[in-house]
Amino acid sequence: MRYPTYRPRRMRKNEKLRGMVRETALSPDCLVYPVFVKEMSEREVPIDAMPGISQFSVDGVLGEVDKVLEAGVPAILVFGVPEKKDETGSGAYDKNGIVQQAVRAIKARFGEDILVITDVCMCEYTSHGHCGVVKDGYVDNDETLKLLAKSALTHVMAGADMVAPSDMMDGRVRAIREMLDLHGDYNVPVMSYAAKYASCLYGPFREAAESTPQFGDRRSYQMDPPNSREAMREIALDIEEGADIIMIKPALLYLDVLSQARERFNIPLAAYSVSGEYSMIRFAAAKGSFDLKRAVIESTTSIRRAGADIIITYFAKEIGTWAKERTL
């Protein structure tokens, strides 16, 4: 059909018509909200680079989880910021480490009401800020695997519902899966940061997690931004090793990778809308460049449209609130 017989604008005439034919739905059910828990005396410390986001003490994070649940968001992703760091990141696999304390407290208060996912990595815990054991200036892959597996186990022992390795070491999904299965934790899913790029957009996160590398960068283990075929290989390897969910990170600048993964793999797919994406939108809206709500909904919907089943976003509470108000 051609104009004037076919007029696509007919179905855009009003919100009810637009809603009836809308192809992509955005719901709080698919959202995960990241939280930063720190060993400190203060209950909450705002993060300058991420307006509206804070670090919380173990006690303080309970109030934040209350707000997450009130917004209808079903899951959180927990990052830990320890008081002390060392060369091997021992706080990551300490049974009384900050993440382990936080998980126990959250599950004791909220039980099954909240899905607790824990980030499994070493960068917040090492004195050098890298994601593993450093030998001769290089991150030792296989030595790091042992510590990641120990970390994941302590998270699950504390009550974590899911673990999410973000380190980008080769073979870490298999190492974690084998460790959990060995201890009878067959039913705990692994969400792998399967294609995590060496992006410039992590700067605000590194302030929040206090995880900036003290030398060099992470390009020897995080993915090179120009590569997408390599991402498909990384994803395939992680699925083969036992990942239950695979993740693309960052989200907005890698929608093409997300779309390719959706076309190629029949497995739940997550995308992490990272700190730099959050801060760009937040700061630009504060300057009057555009409307915050419309920008958040449009950008998050684009991630969903590209194929994400799960979206990790710092805007999760706001999106959940808008959904409750029926203004999404």
Q: Does residue 166 contact residue 121 with C-beta atoms inside 8 Å? A: yes
Catalytic residue at 196? yes
SS (H, E, C) 144-167: HHHHHHHHHHHHHHHCCCEEEECC
- State the residue for tokens 């382990």: 100
Q: Which of 38, 85, 150, 249 is catalytic?
A: 249
d(CA 94, CA 147): 10
- The gap from C-alpha 187 to its chain's centroid, in whole angstroms, comes to 21
The residue annotated as part of the active site, out of 146, 196, 287, 324, is 196
Q: Is the distance from CB of 311 to CB of 32 less than 8 angstroms?
A: yes
- Let me know if 85 is a catalytic residue: no
Positive or negative torsion for Cα 110, 116, 122, 127: negative
Is residue 149 within 8 A of residue 93, CB to CB? The reply is: no
Q: What are phi and psi of 32, to 5 degrees?
A: -130, 135
- End-to-end alpha carbon distance in the chain: 33
Q: Which of 42, 41, 39, 36 is nearest to 82 (CA)?
A: 39
Contact 297, 319 (CB under 8 A): yes
How far, in Å, CA of 208 to CA of 308, rounded? 25
**What residues act catalytically?**
196, 249
